[in-house]
Amino acid sequence: MFKNNKEVKLGFYGPPNAGKTSLANRICKDFTGEEIGSVSKVPHETRKVQFKEKVEISYKGKKMVFKMVDTPGIATKIDYEDFLKYKMSKKDAKDRAKEATQGVIESIKWLDDMDMVVVVLDAVENPYNQVNITIIGNLVARKIPVLIVANKIDLKKADIKKIEAAFPEYDVIGISAKFGENLEEFYESIFRLSKKV
Amino acid sequence: MDKKRGKSLGKIKGFSIQFLPYSEIKELGSDARLKRILGIILDNNLLILQGRLSSSEETRLIGDTMAMIGHIKDFKGIELAVISGGEQESILGRMTKGIANILAGGDFSAITIIGPASIVKEIKRNPRKIELLLNR
């Protein structure tokens, strides 16, 4: 369906702090030399949808051009008081919370526009979270191809098997976006998934 | 809920648990269905819904409640969980079946729990159990 010169819109979705921007940065840096956005330990660092156009990914002689779409983390609740523990002023925390709620709404709106989606999950966290199920359910309903990434496999408590058990219908690729671990398998999966677009 | 946490429930004030049979919302369109559910949640109730919403309705519920944060006093969003029958099936298998059932008139084997985040601190779940942690 997509010729070489057509950009495939590749969305990065998932809960806050799972590493969506870290992974998008890693890919953009590898193939364009530039990052897509800033990362932080404070949740909801990405509060607006970020793009990087014409990212040509080359892997084992294959090439595809993507429009990378990095989205704010989707959550069902946002409390400004949660940000105060990161030594943020009350005003900054409230502003961040307000922007984060708008970010969630923006992420949801963008679901319709994706050609394929990487759902980034934190391999340390419990995957049986309704947000994860709702996001993937929406993508299934829209017939958008999905790849699940279990990020942070460099951490001791990471449990990819738990994610595989929760979503057995999907390929689950364990990676560390921070250290660039297992990205070969990730790119392999991206090219395989693009055939379903 | 485990016994230790159950002992502290007496300290929680100002909410009730409402059970909503699916037949009550079956004939409603998506807008009216979500409005009914939001009305219950915003009234500081923990809602136990027979059946489940479609994934697009769940997403709309998340989006709509996000838009209310900052505009409704003390509202911080919701906690949401769907429990389905068929323990041997995967989440998505059950979910896909659930959507099909909803289209056909409701997945009665599922139960949806929705509560305001000011009351429900967290819903912990795994394939074998669901645990509701309430704010004190």
Report yes or no: A166 at the B interface, CB cutoff 8 Å: yes
CA A24 to chain CA centroid, Å, is 7
> Which CATH number do you get for residue A119?
3.40.50.300
For residue A133, being part of any structural domain is answered with yes
Q: Which of residues 112-141 of A touch B (CB under 8 A)?
A: 126, 128-131, 133-138, 140-141
Q: Is the pLDDT of residue B64 over 70?
A: yes
* Structural domain total, chain A: 1
Look up the domain containing B50 and give its range. Answer: 3-134
- Mean pLDDT, rounded, for A11-17: 97
Provide the shortest C-alpha distance from residue B4 to chain A (in Å).
22
More confident site: B5 or B108: B108
Minimal Cα–Cα distance from A153 to chain B, Å? Answer: 21
Q: Does any domain span residue A3?
A: no
CA distance B61 to chain A (A): 9
Q: Are A174 and A123 in contact (CB under 8 A)?
A: yes
Q: For residue A139, give its domain range.
A: 8-194
- What are the tokens at A82? 């949660």
At B91 the pLDDT is 57
Q: Does A55 touch chain B (CB under 8 A)?
A: no
A156, amino acid identity: K
- Quick check: A76 and B80 CB within 8 A? yes
Mean pLDDT of chain A: 94
Q: Give the mean model confidence (pLDDT) for residues B59-88.
A: 88
pLDDT range class, residue B6, cuts 50, 70, 90:
very low
Q: Which two tokens stand for residue A124?
A: 């340390």
Indicate whether A2 belongs to any domain.
no
Q: Provide Rg for chain B, Cα atoms.
A: 15
**Predicted local confidence at residue B10, as pLDDT:** 45
Residues of A whose CB is below 8 A from B93 = 169
How long a stretch of residues is chain B? Answer: 136
d(CA A17, CA B75): 23
pLDDT for A66: 97
* B66–A138 CB contact, under 8 Å: no
CA dist., res. A111 & res. A29, Å (int): 25
- pLDDT score at A102: 97
Predicted confidence at residue A29, as pLDDT, reads: 95
Specify which residues B78 forms β-bridges with: B116
Q: Quick check: B96 and B71 in contact, CB under 8 A?
A: no
Among the partner-chain residues B76, B96, B127, the one whose CB lies closest to the CB of A78 is B76
Could you tell me if residue A183 is inside a domain?
A: yes
Residue A92 lies in a domain: yes
Q: Which of A97, A105, A136 sits opposite B67 (nearest CB)?
A: A105
Lowest mean pLDDT segment, chosen from A39-48, A115-124, B1-10, B109-118: B1-10
Q: Specify if A100 maps to a domain.
A: yes
B91 CB burial (10 A radius; 0-12, 13-18, 19+): buried
Domains: count for chain B? 1
Question: How remote is the C-alpha of A27 from its chain's centroid?
Answer: 12
Confidence check: pLDDT of A156 > 80:
yes
Q: DSSP letter at B8?
A: G
* A-chain residues near B79 (CB < 8 A): 76-77
Any domain includes A55:
yes
Query: Is A136 domain-assigned?
Result: yes
State what percent of residues in chain A have pLDDT above 90.
93
